Structure 1
Amino acid sequence: MKITGDQQLIKKMNKGIVLDTIRQMQPLSRADISAAIGLNKATVSSLVAELIDSQLVTEIGPGESSGGRKPTLLLFNKQAGYAVGVDIRVHDLLVVIVDLEGHIIREQSTPLADYTTESVTNQIKSTISKICVDLPATPYGVIGIGIGVPGLVDETQQVVSAPNLGWNNFDLAGHLQQELALPIYIDNEANAGAIGEKLYGAGLHTSDLVYLSIGVGIGSGIVVGGQLYRGTSNFSGEVGHMTIAENGPLCRCGNHGCWETLASEKALLDQAAAIWGEQVSTIEEVLAKVEEGNSQAVTLLNEIGTQLGIGLANLVNILNPEMIVIGNRLSLAGKQLEQAMLHSIKNRSLSYHRKKTQVEFAKLGIRSTALGAASMPITAFLADSDVSVQAEA
């Protein structure tokens, strides 16, 4: 009998559901899967057999009996392949290689001194080539590359604007594809960070969260119902340009008093340099002064925490999210910022709105974006449940 397109599509969808159920609930038996998703046992057994043949699922031995023969338990094979995640930051490039469950296998950070598209593209190619050398063999090898970019990325994955890099209308994926010959996925770094924390970090058990990437600027990734909210042009999340102080500092966007001029890593370092009359290059330098008991450093961090809290109170009032996660470089000062930040949120947000909103610092630290970027090729790969063994790493 000829199999219709509709039947093929249903089978593919069901296989994806079975695979996702194993990933989420492992270890479990075929009977457990049938009970969980409502497919009959014969259909589940057939789909599981195909997943075992494709080496995405493995059998690990018998489980506990409920009265009859002991069931065979199944696991998702996280070692079936690797994904690469890239976080393009203003001062450096972070590249990670992860297994199919997002566990870091290798990582490398490389300084960036030249931000031209050619230089950064070459650095990405070089770093990926180096970090992928002599990886342990897997059925599928490296399945793809995800990249987080500090700027606006449209629905075609074109980098429309990355002001801190000086980029405009750049086809990053196209330039990399020619040499790397792998599927490439591009997104805004805050969106990637939001997905990283949702899948692997602080937001693992939440459906609605706002991830704040606070470095030179402030961007956000907004997750609603487990999915990224992208806005009508794919450009949602530019919360760093909320006006916090009408007559505040001039922002690079041309406005005055934007949130990122008062509560970003750059704001902290600029104010630190003004206080001490010398260039301050990293948050770590300010934190070292706190450890030494420098009262000016403590006061400065309290002020940044207060300004951070003002913007957060606005987000609490407007979005009423389940969770807000603060990531990127400023999260390194979380312990020193927290008290003033929470005090500011409490004083400025509506009590009913903030009652159920958790505010956390990124569980993944400065790796949120890289891990979220790596998840993009993993999601695409696993969505194609008809994959077959093709290569070795």
Structure 2
Amino acid sequence: MNQKVLLNEIVSNSPISRARLSEITGLNKSTVSSQVNTLIEKNLIFEIGQGQSSGGRKPVMLVFNKNAGYAIGIDIGVDYINGILTDLKGNIVFDQYHHLKKSSLDQNKDVLFSIIKELSNQIPDSPYGLIGIGVCVPGLVNTEQKVIFTPNIDWNYQLDLKSLIEKEFQVPVFIENEANAGAYGEKVFGAAKNYDNLIYVSVGTGIGIGIVINNDIYRGVNGFAGEMGHLTIDFNGLKCSCGNRGCWELYASEKSLLHNFKENGRITSNQELIHLANQNDPDVLMALQNFGFYLGIGLVSILNTFNPQAVIIRNELVEALPMVLNSIKNSISSRSNDQFTNGHELFLSSLGKNAPALGTSSIVIEHFLEMATA
């Protein structure tokens, strides 16, 4: 326990001296000295030069060894796989992005393994090498880390992805929901560092919600919390693949936004939408206005339910076009009491497309450091 406490302080505050560690933790100097020596032997920290003296011998400063090992984070999307290799501080050392022609895991398993192998090959010499792999998917992941439903990906639910990857690469593997991973990535490395309670809204083909309460991901009893893309906003609405009607994501997802444009063959991608919006195309501007309006409607229910400190939106269109964010804010303010409107911060994702992969990487790193100091 003492070792864990000391390592956490060194990770957060290095360079730091043994004397300062004793002051912060309340541990006596001999305990600090003994445990620090153990952490040095484990290659988790190392000594650098002397710091400034406050009236005696200059202290030897301690630094966290962020290069002791490396983690891989993988985000499996509907039409892409994004992979990153990070050091123990979450710095991205190498990345791989692969566009998928078909959203079928069976057909793309070889692509996934190829990306992991390529990332593994980029690991520099280090005491621990590859410490683990984190993978996130846009669907339901139960408490046993098994994927049991992916509404927008053709997935073989008999496939135990965790066991499959662990067998191939011989390291711990963690499977997580994409929105949960994105929320955790923003919490550990991004815009939400200073918030204990937050909501992360991932808007893509569908809508996923990641919930962080008191600094921990809230998963619910079976691991399914946050499926608020299937919140009903029109009780007589369209039939959804989840079995419900009038789901939020049928009105406020990228898939719904692009649907009408694709039918007439006019626009087929976000990039075209962004380009035409910047050209002041009236049809595109109206569609984006409605997109923001419907996003705001769902967010009002989320704000009223969770009363978070911060809401973080991850979406390429919202990040590229300020008018969409303004539409979201107007929709929220027109349907909320001022106390709700003023009681939270509304951010765009600071990590962009890497948020989920960084979230899975941080889960791997936390597990490694927990085991290393056990």
Same fold at TM > 0.5:
yes
Secondary structure of the 1:230 match is coil
1:93, CA displacement in angstroms? Answer: 0.3
Q: Contact between 1:209 and 1:321, CA under 8 Å: does it hold in 2?
A: yes
Q: Aligned partners of 2:246 and 2:122: how far apart in 1? A: 50
- Quote the residue 2:239 is aligned against: 250
Q: Aligned partners of 2:287 and 2:35: how far apart in 1? A: 59
Secondary structure of the 1:236 match is coil
> What is the number of equivalent residue pairs in this alignment?
373
- Quote the residue 1:197 is aligned against: 186
Q: Aligned partners of 1:170 and 1:350: how far apart in 2? A: 47
- Quote the residue 2:206 is aligned against: 217
Cα deviation code 1:87-128 (max 9, x no counterpart): 000001000001101111111111222444332322111111
Backbone CA RMSD of aligned residues:
1.6
- Quote the residue 2:277 is aligned against: 290
**Residue 232 in structure 1 maps to residue 221 in structure 2:** yes
Choose 346-355 or 305-314, whichever is displaced more: 346-355
**Residue 125 in structure 1 maps to residue 113 in structure 2:** yes
1:29, CA displacement in angstroms? Answer: 0.9
Q: Aligned partners of 2:87 and 2:81: how far apart in 1? A: 20
Q: Aligned partners of 1:291 and 1:115: how far apart in 2? A: 30
- Quote the residue 2:197 is aligned against: 208
Q: Contact between 1:153 and 1:234, CA under 8 Å: does it hold in 2?
A: yes
1:330, CA displacement in angstroms? Answer: 4.6
Q: Contact between 1:173 and 1:185, CA under 8 Å: does it hold in 2?
A: yes
- Quote the residue 2:3 is aligned against: 15
Secondary structure of the 1:170 match is coil
Q: Aligned partners of 2:51 and 2:63: how far apart in 1? A: 12
Runs of 5+ in structure 2 lacking a partner?
none
Q: Aligned partners of 2:260 and 2:235: how far apart in 1? A: 19
**Residue 145 in structure 1 maps to residue 133 in structure 2:** yes
Corresponding letter in the other structure for 2:222: S
Provide TM-score, normalisation by structure 2. Answer: 0.95
Cα deviation code 1:320-372 (max 9, x no counterpart): 00001111445444523111110111111232223221111110011110110
Q: Contact between 1:317 and 1:350, CA under 8 Å: does it hold in 2?
A: no
**Residue 28 in structure 1 maps to residue 16 in structure 2:** yes
- Pick from 35, 41, 62 the counterpart of residue 53 of structure 1: 41
Q: Contact between 2:142 and 2:223, CA under 8 Å: does it hold in 1?
A: yes
Cα deviation code 1:30-65 (max 9, x no counterpart): 111111111111101111111111111122212221
- Pick from 266, 270, 273 the counterpart of residue 255 of structure 2: 266
Q: Contact between 1:161 and 1:169, CA under 8 Å: does it hold in 2?
A: no
- Pick from 300, 309, 319 the counterpart of residue 313 of structure 1: 300
Q: Aligned partners of 1:334 and 1:233: how far apart in 2? A: 37
User: 1:348 and 1:264, CA in 2 relative to 1: closer, same or farther beyond 3 A?
Assistant: same
Runs of 5+ in structure 1 lacking a partner?
1-12, 388-393
User: 1:254 and 1:386, CA in 2 relative to 1: closer, same or farther beyond 3 A?
Assistant: closer
Q: Contact between 1:83 and 1:378, CA under 8 Å: does it hold in 2?
A: yes
Secondary structure of the 1:51 match is helix
1:250, CA displacement in angstroms? Answer: 2.9
Q: Contact between 1:314 and 1:349, CA under 8 Å: does it hold in 2?
A: no
Secondary structure of the 2:196 match is coil
Provide TM-score, normalisation by structure 1. Answer: 0.91
Choose 238-247 or 322-331, whichever is displaced more: 322-331
Corresponding letter in the other structure for 2:66: K
- Pick from 51, 60, 81 the counterpart of residue 93 of structure 1: 81
- Quote the residue 1:178 is aligned against: 167
- Quote the residue 1:188 is aligned against: 177
User: 1:300 and 1:116, CA in 2 relative to 1: closer, same or farther beyond 3 A?
Assistant: closer
Q: Contact between 2:151 and 2:242, CA under 8 Å: does it hold in 1?
A: no
State, as a whole percentage, how many aligned pairs show the same letter.
40
User: 1:364 and 1:334, CA in 2 relative to 1: closer, same or farther beyond 3 A?
Assistant: farther
Cα deviation code 1:289-311 (max 9, x no counterpart): 01222122111111101111111
Q: Contact between 2:261 and 2:268, CA under 8 Å: does it hold in 1?
A: no
Matching of residues 162-173 of structure 1 within 5 Å: 162-167=150-155, 168-173=157-162
Choose 59-68 or 138-147, whichever is displaced more: 59-68
Cα deviation code 1:161-191 (max 9, x no counterpart): 1121122343111122221111111011111
Secondary structure of the 1:310 match is helix
- Quote the residue 2:71 is aligned against: 83
**Residue 344 in structure 1 maps to residue 331 in structure 2:** yes
Q: Aligned partners of 1:376 and 1:328: how far apart in 2? A: 23
Matching of residues 300-379 of structure 1 within 5 Å: 300-333=287-320, 335-379=322-366
Q: Aligned partners of 2:337 and 2:106: how far apart in 1? A: 48
Q: Contact between 1:325 and 1:360, CA under 8 Å: does it hold in 2?
A: yes
Secondary structure of the 1:78 match is coil
Q: Aligned partners of 2:342 and 2:105: how far apart in 1? A: 45
Q: Aligned partners of 1:245 and 1:89: how far apart in 2? A: 27
1:319, CA displacement in angstroms? Answer: 0.8
Choose 189-198 or 172-181, whichever is displaced more: 172-181
Corresponding letter in the other structure for 2:366: T
Secondary structure of the 1:384 match is helix
Corresponding letter in the other structure for 2:336: S
